Amino acid sequence: MKVAIIGATGYSGAELFRLLQAHPHVDRCDVYSSSQDGVHLSESFPHVGAVDGAVLHKLDIEALAKYDAVFFATPPGVSGEWAPALVDRGVKVIDLSGDFRLKDGAVYERWYGREAAPAAYLKRAVYGLTEWNRDAVREAELLSNPGCYPTATLLGLAPLVKERLIEEDSIIVDAKSGVSGAGRKAGLGTHFSEVNENVKIYKVNAHQHIPEIEQMLGTWNGAMKPITFSTHLIPMTRGIMSTIYAKVKQPFSLNDLIDLYKTSYEDASFVRIRQPGQFPATKEVYGSNYCDIGLAYDERTGRVTVVSVIDNLMKGAAGQAVQNFNLMMGWDEVEGLCFLPTYP
């Protein structure tokens, strides 16, 4: 199996390279970049070392068409331009950007501020929230990997929304991310002096992941209303914590709530439900493909609290991409991902 990564000089691309280099079914993993050609990946990431085949190549459609699968770990706009031609040539495409997540091109253009991919390919793209879309992922030719915030939030909300247990207009999400979620490009907002010993909110009511979350919630329950979604930057490298609040339609016990989640995810190798009174921390999924979920129900307010944590570069990006890749190729979805989190 021959695969290629476009955008290997970013954090998600580097994680993909790490995972695919060790994947039991991948014989060759080549790396491509729109900005570098003929440079070894170790020039950008010394931890890679002198790995064979890790010399960056410039983008060339005919060269890329020779791979069994191509991963896009690129900023918005790149895969929308290049992926359709690869799909037309029979290459499996896994896109980690947001270019194919939204089915309505006008919505994409409003939230991303750029031209959408061709409508025919938006329609063909399969949304790769693996635990809730396995059958479609298995048949996918163009796979749109979910965003990091949507992954944590949707996995946390799915059982409640699908079972219609919460008021459709009551969802509030308070999400927090480590600095690697902003990417590797230097900027004032991620400068050490700006981030260290500091917590700040950003993109208030304007984060591009809002329509992605609402689109999936609406698929599960057509009566869903817009959500309140806030994002915060935390002075840590990796991790996302999505704390979700919603009003329940009918009172229920915490044990019933936990039983619902355990049943919903009984076949999900990478979703772990905590016991009553236990809540996950970001470090407890660090470097892994796990999503850990803790639950609480407040009888006084009639609100449920869901705490969902992931590693933004793994389950929120590269790990879930490999999980989807496995299904697309007909393998067990856990291949190349069976390792515990790194702790502490």
Q: Cα angle at 56 between 23 and 51, to 5 degrees?
A: 45
Assign 13 to helix, strand or coil. Answer: helix
What whole-number distance in Å separates Cα of residue 259 and Cα of residue 159?
A: 11
What whole-number distance in Å separates Cα of residue 55 and Cα of residue 127?
A: 31
Amino acid at 179: V
Task: Say which of 29, 148, 291, 338 is annotated catalytic.
Answer: 148
What whole-number distance in Å separates Cα of residue 191 and Cα of residue 194?
A: 5
The Cα-based distances of 258 to 255, 263, 290, 297, 307 in angstroms read 5, 9, 18, 10, 12
- Given a contact cutoff of 8 angstroms between Cβ atoms, the answer to whether 71 and 4 are in contact is yes
CB burial of 115-134 (b: ≥16 within 10 Å; e: otherwise) equals ebbeeebbeebbbbbbbbbb
Nearest Cα residue to 227 out of 160, 149, 177, 168: 168
DSSP H helices, the chain, are 11-21, 61-64, 78-88, 105-112, 119-124, 134-138, 148-162, 192-195, 210-220, 254-264, 319-328
What whole-number distance in Å separates Cα of residue 128 and Cα of residue 28?
A: 24
Give Dmax over CA atoms of the chain in angstroms. Answer: 63
Assign 125 to helix, strand or coil. Answer: coil
Amino acid at 270: F
The Cα-based distances of 4 to 30, 38, 47, 117, 133 in angstroms read 5, 15, 19, 21, 24
Residue-level length of the chain: 344
Q: Cα angle at 71 between 65 and 76, to 5 degrees?
A: 110
148 is catalytic: yes
Residues serving a catalytic function are: 148
